[in-house]
Chain A
Amino acid sequence: MKTNAKKSIMNLAPVFGLIVLVAAFLIVGHMKGINISYGLKSVINQSVVVAVVATGAVFIYTLGSFDISLGASVAVSAILGGMVYIKTGNLLLMFATCIGVAVLVALTNSVLASIFNLPVFVTTIAMLSVLNAMVLLLIGINGTGSEISVPSDAVAHLDNIPFKVAVLALYILACVFIFNFTPIGRKEKFLGGNPLCAQLTGISIKKYSIIAFIISGIGVGLGAFLSIVYAPTLTRSTASSVGMDVIIAIVFGGMPVSGGARSKIYAALIGAFSMTFLSQIMTLFNLNSGIGQIVKAAIFILVVFIAASNHRQKELPR
């Protein structure tokens, strides 16, 4: 009984972590005399893209895989979406392009991995290189040489918190439904936990891997669209940190890297907001970027260590 209670508390460590960080932000913000509502808006603006992309990525992580090219995919989708808007002036077409390109990239990754039997991490590393290069080429060919600008008037009416939160909420609700209440989620958890056993019961790893990448691609496309809405001037640094932020957010939120039954869809949301609150607290303390990153690293390892303390094996994990 006591062990079960301890397990539950440990599993909720990321949630407690987020609560502590929110409280710390409010207390420090109040002490420093900052505008709290402006600070919270800033947190939402910074978290929403990572949260959307990371929520979709949970489906890939559940299979025990990971995709390092997500940030670069956000950038390419946003740039191509921006280019389409500049040519057509049609916002819907820009949205469709963002989603279409992101899903196409995800499909390429999954087809290469599942049809040609390539290790997913290598496929996505190769894709990361290609996409990063494409960002530079597309900006060089189509923009002013250093940027592609979508007129800010075109997206100004969408650059508000209710719209962003609505997009995030709708996507998360859809993902929660698929993950927790449909065979897709259950089979993906089974595949992540014991791929051999799952395949022997007739579950196709190829099919569910492709589905996972498509769901993740939709999240990337939404992230790309939200990136344009927040910053319509697209440069080589657009979404440059999203890729690694997504990995950090998912892990920070309590998602096991090995995937399987312990995977949690809410991990992405908690992780994304926790990391942003942490960054904001560092900024409030005027910490030099280097020191801020050291503190961030220490807290990251500590939280993940506490969250994973129920699941330690005798051998070193691989």
Chain B
Amino acid sequence: MKSNSIIKRVLGAVCIPIITFLIIFIICQSRGIALFDSKSHWIIFLRAVASVMLTTFALSINLNSGRFDFSIGAISLLSSVISAQICIKLGLPVVVMLLISIAVGMLLGLISGTIYVITKLPPIIVSLGVTLLYEGIAFAITAGYGVSFVTNYELTSFPSIRNYLLVIVIALALIILIFDYTSFGYKYRSLLSGQKVSINTGIKEIPNALGCYIIAGGLMGVVGVISSTNTGTIQMSLNFGSIGVMFTAFLPMFIGGFVGRFCNEKIGYLIGAITTAFISLAYARLKVDSSVQQIITAVILVCFLIYLNNEKKIFKFKKTKKE
């Protein structure tokens, strides 16, 4: 009985990425293309997993608590700009760039959270203002030219299988530790399920909310380094150009929510990120036009959500049909 339950849970957790992989594998094979042909394809795949998983964590930490945050992309942009500028000027190694970017991301998250708790405005409004603010600062710092370190061998040496795996493992372990095994995490979950009741029982909401913003900021600091060290350039965004980063996290977040029924929700987000990374790699290998990519991804997201939100009705319909 127990082993049945374990098998059911394992199958439930891995079914989506496996089905996705099989579909993609068959499509690629039918066109004579190998999905993982060289080391560089593994790097592309793991970069997508790391970047999407971290963005999904950052988005979901606040979104699950009803705090919609548009500013995560702007935090990623500004933290990578500041860390890259410092490291280029002082000739520091890429590890230091990563640490500075995390610290700056946490600080930016703290500022964002502080504006939210002081003004008590709806988080979506605060995040709109903060996005404008951080994009503006990044633009002003670089005079609109962005940052380029294409020829800086040290800073562009970050992309590697080992580094991306380290990022994935450490981030996942830390997030599980913080949210599942600390009093901060218990309070977070309590506030998530009942804000008023939790406050009445003595849980302090403000430090918890600030903590969430700080953690989300730190995660986006890492995303900033991953994306900037990949190309060696950081391009500027104004007028909410940075919010696109956030959109990459929706599909894995909902997949993670579904998979979370069978395993830890954070592992679900990793599985969601792996699934979307398979899709991204397939796009690259099949040379799918970026516009078509956007449409396919959006259709997958909507279809998945239609299933997710109507699951009970679908099963009820099937059951009635059988009877």
Chain A interface residues (CB < 8 Å from chain B): 66, 112, 116-119, 121-123, 125-130, 132-134, 136-137, 140, 241, 244-245, 247-248, 251, 257-258, 288-294, 296-298, 300-301, 304-305, 308, 312-318
Contacts and interface: CB of A to CB of B under 8 A. Distances in A.
B126 to A, nearest CB: 7
Interface string B188-232: 000000011001000001100100000000000000000000000
B298 A313 contact: no
A117 B293 CA distance: 25
A119 B254 CA distance: 12
Contacts of A125: 247, 250
B66 A315 contact: no
Contacts of A288: 139-140, 143-144
A117 to B, nearest CB: 4
Interface string B108-134: 000000011101111111101111110
Interface in B90-115: 115
Contacts, number: 151
B306 A301 contact: no
B239 A130 contact: no
Interface of B: 65-68, 115-117, 119-126, 128-133, 135-141, 143-144, 195-196, 199, 205-206, 209, 238-240, 243, 247, 250, 254, 290-295, 297-299, 301-302, 305-306, 309-310
B135 A293 contact: yes
B144 A300 contact: no
Given A122-B301, A297-B129, A289 B144 contact: yes
B144 A316 contact: no
B291 A294 contact: no
Q: Give the dominant DSSP class at A's interface.
A: helix
Contacts of B291: 132-134, 136-137, 140
Nearest to A251: B125
Contacts of A290: 135-141, 143-144, 238
> Which residue, A116, A128, A316, has most C-beta atoms of chain B within 10 A?
A316
A118 B306 contact: yes
Contacts of B196: 315
B315 to A, nearest CB: 15
B190 to A, nearest CB: 13
Contact of A241 (B125, B239, B293, B310): B239
B313 to A, nearest CB: 9
Q: Give the dominant DSSP class at B's interface.
A: helix
A76 B276 CA distance: 27
Contacts of A133: 290-295, 298
Contacts of A312: 120
Top 5 nearest A-B pairs (CB, nearest first) are A290-B139, A318-B66, A293-B136, A290-B140, A297-B132
B266 to A, nearest CB: 21
A308 B122 CA distance: 10
A301 B292 contact: no
Contacts of B66: 318
A138 B119 CA distance: 43
Nearest to B297: A129
A117 B314 CA distance: 13
Nearest to A296: B132
Given A301-B115, A301-B129, A316-B117, A293 B302 contact: no
B239 A244 contact: yes
Given A293-B238, A294-B137, A305-B119, A129 B205 contact: no
Nearest to A257: B122
A130 B123 CA distance: 26
